[in-house]
Amino acid sequence: MGPVNIPPVEQARSIFSELGYTLSGDGTEFRAEREWKVVHVTATADESEGSIPDPDTDSLRCFVTYREAAESLVRRLSDLKPDYEWAVISVTDGADYDVLHAPSMRA
């Protein structure tokens, strides 16, 4: 893996582009749009405080991070219980990735 302090922006863009989404925006946060669906994507190198946006703005969010930080980010998001739907994509330096979905909202 590359330096951990650099968010996996290129991997995030590549994944959503290959899935047929149109991308807009620069930097570590961008929009991915396909048909009726808009996903706000955040690429982050770790699960630190600054990597989770305020929960009051968007209904679909995806966080893309390195495999080493993915489980911790999922736990943190689960504890925060944001008001938006979310998923975490765990990436490596290669093309491999795993999607970790939010826990079920049902009680």
CATH 3.40.1350 fits 9-101, yes or no: yes
Residues 8-24: tens digit of each pLDDT: 999 999 999 999 999 99
Q: Is the pLDDT of residue 90 over 60?
A: yes
Residues 27-78: tens digit of each pLDDT: 999 999 999 999 999 999 876 655 566 655 557 999 999 999 999 999 999 9
Buried b (16+ CB within 10 A) or exposed e, 58-79: beebbbbbbeebbeebbebbee
pLDDT at 24: 96
Question: Using CA atoms, how far apart are residues 66 and 71, in angstroms rounded to an integer?
Answer: 10
Question: Using CA atoms, how far apart are residues 55 and 75, in angstroms rounded to an integer?
Answer: 16
pLDDT at 102: 77
Residue 44 CB burial class (10 angstroms; 0-12, 13-18, ≥19)? buried
pLDDT at 2: 47
With left for phi above 0 and alpha for psi between -120 and 50, is residue 27 left, alpha or beta?
Answer: left
> Which sign, positive or negative, has the C-alpha torsion 20, 60, 95, 3?
positive
